[in-house]
Amino acid sequence: MNPDPHARPVLVVDFGAQYAQLIARRVREAKVFSEVVPHTVSTAELVARRPAAIILSGGPASVYAPQAPALDVALLEAGIPVFGMCYGFQAMAAALGGTVAETGLREYGATSAAIADTSSTLFRGQPAQQSVWMSHGDSVSAAPPGMTVTASTAGAQVAAFEDDDRRLYGVQWHPEVVHSTFGQRVLENFLYAGAGLAPDWTPSSIVQDQVARLRAQIGDAHVLCALSGGVDSSVAAALVQRAVGDQLTCVFVDHGLLRAGEAEQVKEEFVAATGVDLVTVEAADRFLSALAGVRDPEEKRKIIGREFIRVFEQAARDVVGLADSQGHPVQFLVQGTLYPDVVESGGGAGTANIKSHHNVGGLPNDLRFTLVEPLRDLFKDEVRKVGLELGVPESIVWRQPFPGPGLGIRIVGEVTAERLETLRAADAIARAGLTAAGLDRDIWQCPVVLLADVRSVGVQGDGRTYGHPVVLRPVSSEDAMTADWARVPYDVLAAISSRITNEVAEVNRVVLDVTSKPPGTIEWE
C-alpha cells in the first residue's frame, strides 16, 4: 500500500467540463486518490507533481478553435499514463498528429459503440457492443500514428484508441457518467492495467494517511475543534483525536441556530462514543445580537463565521488557557471543510465563488488560529466511510448535511428568536415525517426554509390568517456538487404539510421546491 496516496495522485485536468468533479469521484470509487487541476497548469508543473496518471476531461470547446485550451505534446511524451475523455481524447489526437474535424456526424446521449478488441487494455472483459454516453460535434477522423483504434460508433469511426507502449489511451465518450454502461470498468482498466495502480485508497488508508499528516502538522501543540455535531466536524474531531489524543479540546458552541435536539446529541451521544474532551459555550444571545436587523444572506454568513472565531478565541483564553506572551492563542483550530466547500467558495483557479462558507470564505482576516482541515480533500460519502472506520456513531455519520451557519441561513429575512422557534418546530416535523417513511438514507438532505419576510393569506379556524410560508427542499445527490429534487411520495408530503400547518401556529402554507442544482443551490441562502 502506498503510505501516502497524496504523494502521487491521479490528476484530472479540467478543460471546462461539467463532469470534471465527477471524474475525480469515479477514480476514488476505484480506490485511487485523485485531484482536479485547471487546464491552465503548465506541463512543467504537472510533471513536477509526479502524478501516477493523468486524465484529460471533456470540455465545450473545439480543439481547432483559436481560443481552445491547448494540450502540450510534451505532457504526452513525459512517460506518464494519460487517459483522454471527449475533448481530452480529441486534444490528444490533435497533439499527436491525428486529425480532428467537424464531420457533421454529431452524437449526443446514449450511443451504441462497437468494440474492435475486447482483449485490449481498456475493454478487456467487456462485450463487443455497449451503450456509451456521447456529447460531441467534432470527431477524430484519423488516429495518430502508433495508436490502435479499439472502438467506433456510427458517428465516430475513431471512438477509442490505445497505445500500451506509451501508456496513452482515450475514448470519445464520457465513461464517468452512469449512462455509459461499462464506463467504470473502462476507467478501472486504465487505472489498474494501463497505469499499473493499486486500489489502495480505502477508509483505512485515509485514516492512516491523515493521522500521520496531523501528527506532523500539530506536533505537541494544543488543538481546538469546532464541533457542531454534524457529520463533517464529528469525523474531523475523531480523526484529530486519533492522531493527538488529549491534545484536542472540542468546543461546542450552542449559538441558538441549531435544530431541535441537536445540542443534546452532541453533548451526550458523541462524547459517550468518542470520549473527547468537550467544552460547551452558550452563545445564543451573542449571535442573535450580532444578527439583529441583518437580512442579506452573505452578510449573515460572514457574521456567523466571525462570531464563531471570536468565541473560539475566547474559549482558548478562558478554558484552554494557552496563550503567548502577548495574550494571543497559539493552538490550532480544526474545521470540517470538504472538497465541495473549497470548490464552491472559489478555492481553486477557474472556480466561481458561488457562496462564502464559514469553513472557507467567511473567516475574518485577523484569524489567529492555524487551521487544520483533515477532510479538505474528501467528498461527503468518503467522510461517512472514514467516520465508520473511526467508530463514530451511525446516527451521526448518517445525519443529513447541515450548513455551518445553521438555521441562520434557512430564514429568509432577519433572524430572531421567535422565527428560530418557528423554523425549529417545522423542521422537526419534516424530519420526523421522513424518518417515519424510511427515507432518511434515500434523501441527501431536506432543508426547511422559513420565508420570514413573506406573508401568505390562509384560512384557519374559520378565520383569515396572514402566516409565513415554509419551503420543503428535499434533494438527492452524491456529493452536493449537483443535486436533483427528491421525489418524496405525495402521502408523506401531505402528512408533513398537515402537521406543520396544524401544529406550528405561525405557518399557514407549505410549499415544495422542485429545482435541481444547477440552476439552484441546495440552500436558499
250 annotated active-site: no
86 annotated active-site: yes
Whether 183 and 174 have beta carbons less than 8 Å apart is answered as: yes
Q: Is 270 left (phi over 0), alpha (psi -120 to 50) or beta?
A: alpha
Q: For residue 196, which amino acid is it?
A: G
Catalytic residue among 29, 39, 162, 174: 174
**How far is 17 from 12, CA to CA, in rounded Å?**
11
Alpha-carbon torsion (430, 434, 440, 442), positive or negative = negative
Catalytic residue among 176, 262, 523, 525: 176
Secondary structure class of 303 (helix, strand, coil): helix
Number of Cβ atoms within 10 Å of the Cβ of 348: 14
Alpha-carbon torsion (368, 7, 81, 154), positive or negative = negative
**How far is 140 from 101, CA to CA, in rounded Å?**
6
Whether 484 and 477 have beta carbons less than 8 Å apart is answered as: yes
Where are the extended beta strands (E) located within 198-294? 223-226, 248-254, 278-282
Whether 130 and 122 have beta carbons less than 8 Å apart is answered as: no
**How far is 91 from 83, CA to CA, in rounded Å?**
11
**How far is 115 from 112, CA to CA, in rounded Å?**
10
**How far is 51 from 32, CA to CA, in rounded Å?**
12
Catalytic residue among 29, 86, 357, 382: 86
282 annotated active-site: no
In 353-475, which residue ranges form alpha helices assigned H by DSSP?
Answer: 380-390, 394-397, 417-436
User: Where in the sequence numbering do the catalytic residues fall?
Assistant: 86, 174, 176
